[in-house]
Amino acid sequence: MKNNQEVHCDKCGREVAKLKYLKKVNEGFLCGKCIKENRAKHREFLRREVLKIPKRSDLLKEWAEKRKVREKEQERLRKIYGDAKPEIKSSKKDKLKINTLGLYLTKDERLFLYKKLVQGENPLSSEEANKRIKNLTEQMKILIEDLRNKVKTPLEFRKRFDEGFARLIMEIENEV
């Protein structure tokens, strides 16, 4: 080939001034632009096929399909159960319910009473101490029921319960 003879790319057909501007590839002689395209396609192949990295657009389509399926399911459930209106919740400090005041003996309180009954001046056997603690819890339940019938505000209920519970503990201390 002569230096001044024009040659062309086998892929795109673009004419190049010299042969040195073409590269020999399996597909024939290619120009720089076609080689870049081939490399880009090969990188894309490696990402998608070999490494299994999905395209963002494919992910968006998949998410949209899932969203549509979810919306159809929600619509089906709405037809069955009707529209549920969301409730506006106030803070828990504003709403003290009598039922949720946690008026019971905890494990530590039971253990304290048990030790006091077993190790006091007149110690009781473990069975008698357990019976006494069960009796105390029954008295607490009765006290709670009486207070629920009499008292309407949660704060007053809590205050009276604490007073009644203190009286019950004083009775135990006096007996022991």
142 and 171 part of one domain: yes
Domain range for 64 is 54-84
123 and 152 part of one domain: yes
- Number of domains forming the structure of the chain: 3
- Gap between the Cα atoms of 92 and 79, Å rounded: 33
Which residues are CB-neighbours of 118 under 8 A, at least 6 positions away? 124, 125, 126, 129
Q: Is there a domain that residue 35 lies in? A: yes
Q: Are 30 and 9 in contact (CB under 8 A)?
A: yes
35 and 70 part of one domain: no
108 and 170 part of one domain: yes
pLDDT per residue as tens, the chain (176 positions): 455 567 899 999 999 988 888 999 888 899 999 999 999 999 999 999 999 999 999 999 999 999 999 999 999 988 888 776 667 666 655 444 445 445 566 777 778 778 878 887 778 888 888 888 888 778 777 877 777 777 767 777 777 777 877 787 777 777 65
Buried b (16+ CB within 10 A) or exposed e, 55-72: eeeeeeeeeeeeeeeeee
- Gap between the Cα atoms of 25 and 165, Å rounded: 94
Decide the pairing of beta strands 23-25 and 15-16: unpaired
